[in-house]
Structure 1
């Protein structure tokens, strides 16, 4: 029986690539997508989300609109990327998307889908966790309907990727955007697996991978994903950052959990400067699972095979 899945993403290139990857998985039944206005502006991100559903013939999947804005905003230049994505040749001439203001609110869609699911639901988050936390604050009885939460988040034994004023660089962006909700999520003690920077640092977007993907250009998904990844080359200045497969690695965990090494730890989230959003190993904290390694060869080969469908 396919695994019921709710996906919450925040509209960036790697989030949209993750959405495409989910839609290639035969053992996953995607029952809803919610979008958080974190690493995106919400209207173009909702349009991108819908266009990808159109491309895959899955317009039946409902989309929820996140209206909660976190504590620490992503840089504006990162948030504007969906505007470019919507103009790509494979997407620009698709039929118009629905009114972005007509979408159900993200927490309400999560509540609706958890309530109505015939079985437990896996939740995949490739952006901040705020929409899920808002939903569970409103309907705490639905915690029992969650089979597992998989979240691309955190940095435990490695440096964070937040570089901004009044911060010491220890946090990862998805946690830093809303550290208070992040700490709440840990406190719920759900079956929670984090795919942190510790493991995503092992899977950069390399020219060698893009070259292999380009040999599959006659396949629609390889063509589109190649264009999307090419846009990441200058998304953030290469002298400042390396673009990694953050979200798509977390998404691949759905299909290949056995290719990851994991560890059960106890952790907390700092909610105040100078290390707001830092995920701290703490024996007095909350139990969760973190990924510490991945079979990188298997992972890259898996992506190439999925996008050749």
Structure 2
């Protein structure tokens, strides 16, 4: 029996690659995809999401439009990347995507799909967690339909990746965008798995990996993924950041959990400056699971294999 999964992403290059990766997983039934306007502008991000459904012939999977714009906005130059993705050679001439304002609200789609699900559902979050939190505030009983939440978020024993005013650099962006919802999600005491910067820092997007992917260009999804990853080389200037496989790593956890090591952790979240969005260990905090390591070679091989499908 296939695993039931709902995905919420926020439209960045890594998020869209993660959606593409998820669409290759035959072991998974993807019930729906919701998009948060965090690391994207919502209209082109929904277009990109739909185009990836077209490429994989899965247009039947419903999309939901996030209507909440968070507390701490991502930089605008990062948010514009879906516009470039929509112009890639493999995507630009696909049939026109629907009007983005015809999609249901993300919160409503999450509620609907959880209510209709024949069993418990895994939630994959590669952006902020706000839509899921709002859905569970609207229908608290749906907590029982959630088997696990896998969230690319947080930084525990390493510096964060937020560099902005009134912040000390301890937070990761997905948690920082809406620190209040981050704290609420942890407090819900769901089976929550953090895939934090501590482990994603070990899986950079390297030119050696891109070279191996380029050797697979006869496979259409490898070709498309290679085009998308090539965009990341200058997405974030290297003197500020390195581009990692943040969301791809979290997505892989759904199918190859045996390649990861985890441990339980007591977590708390700051909601105020100067460390808003910081996730930290607190003996009085809430229980969650933290990914602490990954078999890097197995992970990269898994990605290369999936994009041959």
TM-score range, shorter chain: over 0.9
Query: Which digits, 9 at most, give the CA deviation of each residue in 1:76-117, with x for residues without a partner?
Result: 000000000000000000000011001000000000000000
Query: Which digits, 9 at most, give the CA deviation of each residue in 1:202-247, with x for residues without a partner?
Result: 0000000000000001110010000000000000101111000000
Tell me the equivalent position of 1:94: 94
- Structure 1 segments, 4+ long, off by >4 Å, are none
Distance (Å, rounded) in 2 between the aligned partners of 1:262 and 1:114: 27
- For 1:1-309, what aligned pairs fall within 5 Å after superposition? 1-309=1-309
Distance (Å, rounded) in 2 between the aligned partners of 1:99 and 1:136: 27
Distance (Å, rounded) in 2 between the aligned partners of 1:97 and 1:240: 35
Please state whether the residue corresponding to 1:249 is helix, strand or coil: helix
Distance (Å, rounded) in 2 between the aligned partners of 1:264 and 1:138: 28
RMSD: 0.4
Distance (Å, rounded) in 1 between the aligned partners of 2:62 and 2:216: 31
Distance (Å, rounded) in 2 between the aligned partners of 1:134 and 1:179: 14
Please state whether the residue corresponding to 1:190 is helix, strand or coil: coil
Please state whether the residue corresponding to 1:288 is helix, strand or coil: strand
Distance (Å, rounded) in 1 between the aligned partners of 2:32 and 2:308: 24
Distance (Å, rounded) in 1 between the aligned partners of 2:116 and 2:159: 41
Please state whether the residue corresponding to 2:291 is helix, strand or coil: strand
- Once the two structures are TM-superposed, the CA of residue 147 in structure 1 deviates from its matched residue by 0.4
Please state whether the residue corresponding to 2:267 is helix, strand or coil: strand
The answer for unaligned runs of 5 or more in structure 2 is none
Please state whether the residue corresponding to 1:104 is helix, strand or coil: coil
Please state whether the residue corresponding to 2:298 is helix, strand or coil: helix
Distance (Å, rounded) in 2 between the aligned partners of 1:168 and 1:208: 33
- Once the two structures are TM-superposed, the CA of residue 18 in structure 1 deviates from its matched residue by 0.3
Distance (Å, rounded) in 2 between the aligned partners of 1:136 and 1:254: 22
**TM-score relative to the length of structure 1:** 1.00
- Once the two structures are TM-superposed, the CA of residue 66 in structure 1 deviates from its matched residue by 0.1
- Once the two structures are TM-superposed, the CA of residue 26 in structure 1 deviates from its matched residue by 1.2
Q: Give the count of matched residue pairs.
A: 309
**TM-score relative to the length of structure 2:** 1.00
